[in-house]
Amino acid sequence: MLWLGVLLLALQLGFEPPAAEPEPPEPLGSWTLVPVPPPVRPLLLADDPCAPPRWELGLEFLYWYPRRGWLPPVVTTSPPTSLGLIGAPGTMILYGNERIDLRHDRLIGTQATLAWHFDSEGFWAAELRAFFLERDSSNYTIKPQSDLLLARPYVNAVDGSPSAEIFAGPTPTGELLEGSINAYTRIEVFGQELNLRYEAWSDETLTLEAIVGSRFLQMRDRFDVTTSSRTMPDRATLYGVSDHFQTFNKFYGGQVGLRSTWHWHSWLVQMGGAMALGATDQSIRTKGQRLTQTPDLRDDRPLGLLVLPSNSGAARRTIFDLIAELNLKLGYQATDHLRFFVGYSVLAWSRPVRSGNQIDSLNTDQITNPLSTPMRPRLTFRDELFWLQGISAGGELRW
């Protein structure tokens, strides 16, 4: 107990313990290793859960319906006295004079979108989009027969009167022909875009983006018709006539558009539209064949019925054109990085050429005299409005 009393007395009297002795100085030329903490890496955008995404990757399944192509009357039948002429008593149009149904009457395809936000705030993005649709076709066939009169009608360019070339049944010259016909159409469409997007407005419920960029769109269309006839009853003489029309349309242009997205909890509704102005490069290619073959002779000439010397070959032109597109999508935000959606789209193309519209009135004197006038048919470059519309479903990954 004595030492405790001495300690309390020392504290009351202000006793201070002696200072610690200083450490001796470090000798010159010596080194001491001091651990250095690792540098702190700055927080990148991908590490910040609140930062906007850098990349967007979308994939859609397309189920679109095209505007069907027009064909003039292709095949007629009639009593022998009417010669298959349109407007004559008893003449019926078996194929053509309407927009032709495709085999599936829809085009199935895919659309892919890749976008990159190249600023840290996520306002600006470069976007690449492309769609590809399967080709679709139609096929009309009459097998060889001689019971009915069958003819290919056309308009006589000399006087504008209806005319026809008989390929089955009785002919005005007294022959009886066993004939068949096959008519075929096909269409394919695909396109690409390269856009720059700017987020002009954004809050908790609404995002508004402005779009400027370029668009490419291509459509290929064709029409082929072939008839084959044999004289009856010996089948010794063969007649074959075929015509082929192909059209190619390539649009190149710049476009502007808007895209708005409304958010409500995990659901979103997106509406967008764009208009492109530019040029369409159009090409038309035609060829024909007319074959007459007997046991002693074969005559094969590069002309058909609808394709004669005056419109055989290829032609090309470039015109000013316009494309408009509207899209509506309903989406669900499944996670922070993944969303799913369904949509409806309409794409309209102002002035492409289709193969069926290039059939002109005929001066069939060119079959025997290529320089016969008037020089008809011609490559007409008749154009018309084309559209695609349909539904889509897909997903989008954002990171």
Give phi and psi for 305, each to the nearest 5: -105, -50
The answer to whether the Cα torsion of 80, 84, 87, 91 is positive or negative is: positive
pTM: 0.85
Report d(CA 19, CA 187) in Å as an integer: 100
Output the tens digit of pLDDT for each of the chain's 399 residues.
434 443 444 434 444 444 445 555 555 444 454 454 544 434 333 445 556 789 999 999 999 999 999 999 999 999 999 999 999 999 999 999 999 999 999 999 999 999 999 998 889 999 999 999 999 999 999 999 999 999 999 999 999 999 999 999 999 999 999 999 999 999 999 999 999 999 999 999 999 999 999 999 999 999 999 999 999 999 999 999 999 999 999 999 999 999 999 999 999 999 999 999 999 999 999 999 999 999 999 999 999 999 999 999 999 999 999 999 999 999 999 999 999 999 999 999 999 999 999 999 999 999 989 889 999 999 999 999 999 999 999 999 999
Task: Give residue 37's pLDDT.
Answer: 54
Identity at 60, one-letter amino acid code: E
347: Cα separation from own chain's centroid: 9
- Tokens standing for 218? 């291509």
Q: Which residues contact 36 (CB under 8 A, 6 or more apart)?
A: none
Task: Give residue 31's pLDDT.
Answer: 47
Report d(CA 299, CA 296) in Å as an integer: 10
Identity at 142, one-letter amino acid code: I
Give phi and psi for 381, each to the nearest 5: 55, 45
Scanning the structure block, which residue is given the tokens 């005929």?
362
